[in-house]
Amino acid sequence: MNHNNKYDTNLHQRPANYEALTPISFLERSAAVYPDKVAVIHGDVEFTYRQFYQRTRQLASALNKAGIGIGDTVSIMAPNIPAMLEAHFGVPMAGATLNALNYRLDAASIRFILEHAETKVLISDREYSSTVADAIQGLDSPPIVIDIDDPQFVGGDLIGQVEYETFISTGDPNYHYGRPESEWDAISLCYTSGTTGNPKGVVSHHRGAYLNALGQLLVFGVDANSRYLWTLPMFHCNGWTFTWGITAAGGTHVCLRKIDPALVFKIIKGHKITHMCGAPIVLTMLIHAPDDAKLCFDQPVDVATGGAAPPSQVIQNMEDIGFRVTHLYGLTETYGPATVCAWQPHWETLDPDSRTRQMARQGVGYHTMEAVMVADSQNMKPVPSDGETLGEIMVRGNTVMKGYLKNPRASEEAFRGGWFHTGDLAVCHPDGYIEIKDRAKDIIISGGENISSLEIEETLYKHPEIMEAAVVAKNDEKWGETPCAFVTLKPGASDVSADDIIQWCRNNVARFKVPKLVVFGELPKTSTGKIQKFALRERANKL
């Protein structure tokens, strides 16, 4: 650090030229620059930036009064409503760490998280009162429970000690909250959905949250004129840091308790939405909405998708109904998106099919991510950029988590060799764009050949009658594993047999990749819209 040279003499950090990076700054700025602008819309309720900032200061003040501060966890179980946004600022302003819970989890999982996170305060929406009541029953150190009593939801019970509006009304709207002592301080704790075993607690820091939020604005073209619809759960990596990012831009957050395609189209049109995000499943819901729900809108609407690879057909269908799609890739460990399939001008000239196949790639690192590579996970050497050699996606930079809470073994394993190991298998194309072939555990190895389940799914999604598809490995005495397809047909689809679908695959992929078995029915999903392949694998092996 100190080179003993003239450039390090009497030129130290001071209050005037050094401040810990934190997304709290973003709200401070937008409240100063756009005090009377609508910051948050929730049904008929609107908060200006002045009010948004005051409410978060009240929350911070009330939390500090309640004895919550540095090192404490505040958990929240809420849909995309103002209280959830406010927690993203008020909790860090109180010096505490925000743990946004996945509201689709069961009581046992929530209980595990509350105990592991040592939650001191739990803010909880009435909608989830029964799960939460079960989760906290008999806990050794039960948290203070604050009920959110949102009139937009009917049902559930108030089960806590105090109601949210009452709680924050005890706080000072001009509160002089503390700033993080270090930008490395923990701002949030998100638990991975954990397809096997107990979930891991991903700890994020203020520095990374600040940088990733700015990176999002650059990648997704968000500015003060943007109107962002919350179709992505905020509990999912803090809404991919858009909770902080939209606020930084001084845009408008439009809340949404639940994805109802007809309501989504109505809000897009009525509130002139410009940006939204969601897993491919959200896009699929919009594409397959009833025709009379699909309202036309005049403004361009940018949709960022990620969390799972979007089949190129889904991109094409979204374009057909008026959306512009950007494909992002990342994990909870990388504050949500870490790569973007950055548009290249020459793609304009490609035919629609080639173009959407390009757009379905995971792409290149964010401005704010230092490096991304596809490498051999043993020797850490990058694979050749030939579009064929499989390797693991690894990333490195300031928008990678601090590590897993109280799990040094998992942290060391994830960070071995100086890179974060994503567990996703990909190729690197000659243009440097990466493309996921599978989760490490989702690859199918048949007769010694690697089969990408994603490739077969791509083919299935192109079948005119198929709405959703997932392909998993089924154990096989002869081949080791063979592909087994699970498909959901479109509403009102014509009669299609398993043989028809197998024939469709034969016409489109190499023979050894063709599923041996096709199963019809609804697909099990995680709370973030990812298809639960582990459940399908179990099912496949019982067939």
Please classify residue 149 by burial: count the beta carbons closer than 10 Å to its beta carbon, then call 0-12 exposed, 13-18 middle and 19+ buried.
middle
- Closest Cα to residue 512, out of 450, 443, 433? 450
Residue of the chain from 10, 141, 196, 379 that contacts a copy of itself (CB under 8 A): 10
For residues 48 and 398, which CB has a smaller minimum distance to a copy of itself in the complex?
A: 398
Q: Which helix (H) or strand (E) is 265 found in, with range? A: helix 261-270
From candidates 39, 186, 331, 444, binder to a copy of itself by CB under 8 A: 186
367 binds a copy of itself (CB under 8 A): yes
- By C-beta, is 184 or 512 nearer to a copy of itself? 184
Nearest distance from C-beta of residue 374 to a copy of itself, angstroms: 13
Angle made by CA atoms 532, 533, 537, in degrees to the nearest 5: 130
Site for a copy of itself in 454-493 (CB under 8 A): none
**Binding flag, residue 33, a copy of itself (CB under 8 A):** yes
432 is a contact residue toward a copy of itself (CB under 8 A): yes
Which residues, in sequence order, are CB contacts of 126 under 8 Å at separation 6+?
147, 148, 149, 150, 153, 155, 156, 157, 158
Interface mask (CB under 8 A) for a copy of itself, residues 70-89, using x and -? xx------------------
Minimum CB separation from a copy of itself for residue 439, in Å? 20
Joined together, the tokens standing for residue 280 give 């491919």
- Answer for which of 142, 173, 178, 221 binds a copy of itself (CB under 8 A) is 221
> Is residue 403 a contact point for a copy of itself (CB under 8 A)?
yes
Q: Closer to a copy of itself at the Cβ: 221 or 524?
A: 221
Q: Which residues pair with 98 in a beta bridge?
A: 74, 188
337-356 positions binding a copy of itself, by CB under 8 A: 342-345
Pick 205 or 474: Cβ nearer a copy of itself: 205
139, 218, 262, 445: which one binds a copy of itself (CB under 8 A): 218
- Residues numbered 145-184 forming contacts with a copy of itself, rule: CB under 8 A: 181-182, 184
Smallest gap from residue 333 Cβ to a copy of itself (A): 9
Burial (Cβ within 10 Å: 0-12, 13-18, ≥19) of residue 411: buried
**138, 197, 418, 448: which one binds a copy of itself (CB under 8 A):** 418
396 binds a copy of itself (CB under 8 A): yes
Nearest to 276 by CA among 318, 339, 248, 331: 318
- Helices (H) and strands (E) in the chain — how many of each? 17, 26
CA distance 480 to 380: 28
Contact (Cβ atoms closer than 8 angstroms) between residue 525 and residue 308: no
From 320-328, 348-356, 413-421, 445-453, span contacting a copy of itself (CB under 8 A):
413-421
Residue 408 in the binding site for a copy of itself (CB under 8 A): yes
* Cross-sheet strand order for the sheet of 186-191: 162-163, 144-148, 119-125, 73-77, 97-100, 186-191, 201-205, 403-404
Q: Is 524 in the site for a copy of itself (CB under 8 A)?
A: no
Q: How many angstroms separate the CA atoms of 410 and 404, rounded?
A: 7
d(CA 147, CA 165): 9
Question: Cα separation of 389 and 159, whole Å?
Answer: 54
Distance (Å, rounded) from C-alpha 452 to C-alpha 435?
Answer: 11
- Residues 81-140 touching a copy of itself, rule: CB under 8 A, are 97, 118
- Considering the complex, state which of residue 3 and residue 542 has its C-beta at the smaller distance from a copy of itself: 3
Does 1 interact with a copy of itself (rule: CB under 8 A)?
A: yes
Q: Residues binding a copy of itself: what is the number (CB under 8 A)?
A: 76
Q: Residue 413 interacts with a copy of itself (CB under 8 A)?
A: no
Q: Which 250-309 residues touch a copy of itself, going by CB under 8 A?
A: 250
